[in-house]
Structure 1
Amino acid sequence: MSFDLSSTVRRGHPIAFGIFALFSLIVAIISSAVVASFNNNGQPSDKVVRDSTRFMIFAGWWSFIFSIVYIVLFLTGIGGFLSSIASHAVFIVLTWIFWLAGSAALSSKVGDVNCSDATKAGAVPYVPSCTAVKTIVAFGWIGWIELTFLLCIIIMLGVKAFTGGRGVSDGFA
């Protein structure tokens, strides 16, 4: 028993990648603003927070740009191998690793910090940006969860294409 997923993929791909592009843009903008604040007000003494926030700038802009590229390639039907299942899998796996690394590193330092208590006590060296850093963590994990979902879909489509006689270098629909 087999059913055709092509219409679902045609509708779902731009929606899923559009949502991920939105999360990526949010992370990129907030991370950029936090790093600008760090640059203007002095770097935090915690190098993990400083470096992870900078890494999330990269991960956010990387994800935003490539998500938009994949949406355009998918909607226009051009790109050949660039818009293939294999290409999507490589992009999603690499991006999944980026978001996992950045989100986990930031979470390890700010996960249980209460920003209002830290402001009073002066215990956190990145107090002016504490809530913004926690926002990066939250959106980082949300984006990572969506990437995990997309990775499962790509694997399913790749297996279906491979067992159906098509190659993973073929397009989606």
Structure 2
Amino acid sequence: MNLWLLVRTTLYAVLAVSSFLTWVLAAAFIGKTESEFDTYYGSTACLLASGLLAFFTLPVLHFMFHRRGKASMVGSLAVELAVVFVLWALFLGGAAGMADRLPGLSSTYCDSSVCSLGRSVEAFAWISWVMLTFLLVGLITFGALGHKRRGSGVWKEPFSVDAGTGHAAGTGATEKGVGHTAAAPPAAAPPTTAAPAPGANYNETRPAEVTAV
């Protein structure tokens, strides 16, 4: 679980860089096509919005809410999963749209600055989409594991709370003791004096003082 938290942080860092580059390069590509061809492509505008949204949204969600580990609806696993899914769909639509509308970008004959910019936008868009795919799969997987352990409450808590299991990191010792308390030793039975059996020798059961008389 701790390994996944490290991987998740790394994915966010790479996504922040790739989304920023997608945003900047998409803006440059749109400006270039408008100046040279007096037009722009809708898929590039979609990537521009996706990169801008990812760059400003995910770091805020991750570092201001999720890493704090405090229960809040804004920083919950459900909100994080929803945001990642929306960005995943936006990057997929924009990157696939560029590949479909501008197939000549990958051609070796397209060596102008416009083609270079277009290829860069598409490349970083796909990198961002791959990072989001890993995040989406990881969040769903560990969220489902947490749901199986303790129910639907795990989706309302930050993922950094004990790696999505819904238990606070500092309560491990307490939780381990629940249901595993050592059973108290059985109380010793009070001493009992057996009554003499019927027909037993009377002299054997009488007090010593009486026998001596």
Q: State TM-score, norm by structure 2.
A: 0.66
Unaligned runs of 5+ in 1: 120-126
TM-superposed CA distance for 1:36, in Å, is 2.0
Q: CA RMSD in A?
A: 2.1
TM-superposed CA distance for 1:75, in Å, is 2.6
Aligned position for 1:26: 21
Q: Secondary structure at the match of 2:157?
A: coil
Q: Is residue 38 from structure 1 mapped to residue 38 from structure 2 by the alignment?
A: no
TM-superposed CA distance for 1:14, in Å, is 2.4
Q: Secondary structure at the match of 1:61?
A: helix
Q: Secondary structure at the match of 1:80?
A: coil
Q: How far apart, CA to CA, are the structure 2 residues paired with 1:114 and 1:8?
A: 37
Aligned position for 1:94: 86
The aligned length equals 157
Aligned position for 1:17: 12
Bigger helix fraction: 1
Aligned position for 1:75: 67
Q: How far apart, CA to CA, are the structure 2 residues paired with 1:77 and 1:165?
A: 18
Question: Aligned letter for 1:171?
Answer: P
Q: How far apart, CA to CA, are the structure 2 residues paired with 1:19 and 1:118?
A: 29
Q: How far apart, CA to CA, are the structure 2 residues paired with 1:114 and 1:24?
A: 21
The question of whether the paired residues in 1 share the 8 Å contact of 2:91 and 2:125 is answered with yes
Aligned position for 2:97: 105
Aligned position for 1:161: 146
TM-superposed CA distance for 1:118, in Å, is 3.6
Shifted more, 21-30 versus 78-87: the winner is 78-87
CA-to-partner distance for each residue in 1:20-47, whole Å, 9 max, x for gaps?
1111001001001111223333424xx6
Aligned position for 2:129: 144
The question of whether the paired residues in 2 share the 8 Å contact of 1:111 and 1:134 is answered with no
Q: Is residue 84 from structure 1 mapped to residue 76 from structure 2 by the alignment?
A: yes
Question: Aligned letter for 1:67?
Answer: L
The question of whether the paired residues in 2 share the 8 Å contact of 1:99 and 1:144 is answered with yes
The question of whether the paired residues in 1 share the 8 Å contact of 2:20 and 2:52 is answered with yes
Q: How far apart, CA to CA, are the structure 1 residues paired with 2:137 and 2:110?
A: 39
Greater RCO structure (CA 8 Å; 6+ sep): 1
Cα distance 1:15–1:79, how it changes in 2: closer, same or farther (>3 A)?
A: farther
Q: Secondary structure at the match of 2:51?
A: helix
Question: Aligned letter for 1:133?
Answer: G
The question of whether the paired residues in 1 share the 8 Å contact of 2:106 and 2:119 is answered with no
Aligned position for 1:123: none
Cα distance 1:41–1:68, how it changes in 2: closer, same or farther (>3 A)?
A: same
Q: How far apart, CA to CA, are the structure 1 residues paired with 2:52 and 2:13?
A: 14
Unaligned runs of 5+ in 2: 162-213
Q: State TM-score, norm by structure 1.
A: 0.80
Question: Aligned letter for 2:129?
Answer: W
